Structures are given as structure tokens and as C-alpha cells.
């Protein structure tokens, strides 16, 4: 129960910092998450709300990475298991990570009622959190941006949510 309360507090703090960053123009550029064994960065301008996974309704005859639909503040959102989607796309592998998963909605400006399930919320990051960067690996899907390396040597892959949300493969959930 204490873990659940701590997760809710973290989500509330991240949501308020995310909103402050959008309205005040803070130097923070990304929402940092972990999906499976890999770490990712979502551009703040393309990210939406952070909510816990609850009352997920499965959709029959859909692909494995499409977890179903969920009511978020009165809107119906399709929920995608990000790690599973990326694994089937040849980016990483699906590993189970301990913790309570959360979903991050895509910004309403992207005009797609979609949320990405992530395993760990890691906070907000700015360019100053990284010591170096390089482009994506050759042959990577077009939605993958630069790879950033932090001071601990951890790699963080940027995901362009706009490009991802417009990908025909991402939009096609039928099995």
C-alpha cells in the first residue's frame, strides 16, 4: 500500500512539474521513462498526462502489444505496451520490470487518443543531464531520435511521439 501511495505522489509531482515546464518554458526537454530494460525520453511538447493503469478493457483480435482501451478523464484511450511494441519493431526486447506500470498519454495536439504503458517513470530531464549524444543506429525506425548518455553512462533513446503516432504500423492494431 505504501508503494502505491508513493507512486501516486511521484505521478502527481511529475504531472505538476510537466505542466509547469510547458507553461513556464523551463529548460526541461523530456519526460524520462523505462519500458522493459531500456530507457527512453519523450519530448515534453508531445507528452500528455501520466496516470496509473486501471480498468483496462481488452480488445479482441488485436495485436499483442495493444493492451486495450482505458477511460482517462472521460476520454477513451488505446493503451500500447511500449516495450512490446518496440521489441516487435526490432528495438530492444520485452523484459518484465518490477514496479507498477503507468501510462503516458500522447499530447492532445497529436490528435491520437493513445497512451503508452511504461514500467518506470524516471522524472524530467534537460540537456544538461547528459554528457554526450549521437544519432540513432543506422536502419532504426524513423520515430527514434538521438541517443543521450548521462553521467552514469546510461543510454537514453529519444522517441519522437509525433512520428510514432503517425506510423501505419502503430495505427494498425488488428491481429
The beta strand positions in 56-113, using DSSP E, are 66-72, 75-81, 102-106
The pLDDT value recorded for residue 119 is 93
All 3 cell numbers of residue 110? 497529436
CATH number of 2-171: 2.40.50.180
> Which range (13-17, 103-107, 134-138, 154-158) has the least confidence?
13-17
Instruction: Give the predicted TM-score (pTM) of the model.
Output: 0.82
Amino acid at each position: 500500500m505504501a508503494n502505491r501511495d508513493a507512486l501516486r505522489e511521484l505521478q502527481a509531482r511529475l504531472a505538476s512539474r510537466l505542466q509547469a515546464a510547458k507553461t513556464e518554458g523551463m529548460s526541461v526537454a523530456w519526460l524520462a521513462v523505462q519500458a522493459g530494460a531500456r530507457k527512453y525520453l519523450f519530448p515534453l511538447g508531445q507528452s500528455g498526462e501520466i496516470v496509473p493503469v486501471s480498468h483496462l478493457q481488452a480488445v479482441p483480435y488485436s495485436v499483442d502489444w495493444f493492451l486495450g482501451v482505458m477511460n482517462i478523464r472521460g476520454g477513451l484511450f488505446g493503451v500500447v505496451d511500449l516495450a512490446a511494441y518496440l521489441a516487435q519493431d526490432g528495438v530492444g526486447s520485452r523484459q518484465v520490470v518490477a514496479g507498477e506500470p503507468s501510462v503516458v498519454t500522447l499530447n492532445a495536439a497529436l490528435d491520437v487518443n493513445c497512451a503508452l504503458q511504461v514500467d518506470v517513470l524516471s522524472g524530467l530531464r534537460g540537456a544538461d543531464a547528459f554528457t554526450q549524444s549521437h544519432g540513432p543506429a543506422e536502419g532504426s525506425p524513423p520515430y527514434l531520435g538521438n541517443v543521450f548518455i548521462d553521467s552514469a553512462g546510461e543510454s537514453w533513446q529519444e522517441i519522437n511521439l509525433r512520428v510514432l503516432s503517425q506510423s501505419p504500423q502503430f495505427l494498425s492494431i488488428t491481429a
